[in-house]
Amino acid sequence: MAVVAAFLVPGHPLPFLKPDNRPWVPLMRGYAAAERALDEARADVVVAYSTQWIAVLDELWQTRSRLTGLHVDENWYEFGDLPFDISIDTVLAQACVDGSKEIGVNAKAVDYDDFPVDTGTIVMANSLDPQRHLKFVLAANNLYHDWDTTIRLGAMAVRMANEQGKRVALVGVGGLSGAIFRTEIDIEKDGLASSDDDAWNRKLLSALEAGTANQVKDVLAEYVKVAKPDMGMKHLAWVLGGLGEQYTGGKVLGYGPAYGSGAAVVQFTVH
- Give the residue extent of every domain in the chain: 3-192+228-268
The superfamily CATH assigns to domain 3-192+228-268 is: LigB-like (3.40.830.10)
Contact 209, 250 (CB under 8 A): yes
226 has pLDDT over 90? yes
Give the pLDDT score at 119. 98
271 has pLDDT over 80? no
**95-106 burial string, b = 16+ CB within 10 Å, else e?**
bbbebbeeeebe
Q: d(Cα 156, Cα 241) in Å, to the nearest integer?
A: 8
Prediction pTM value: 0.96
102 has pLDDT over 80? yes
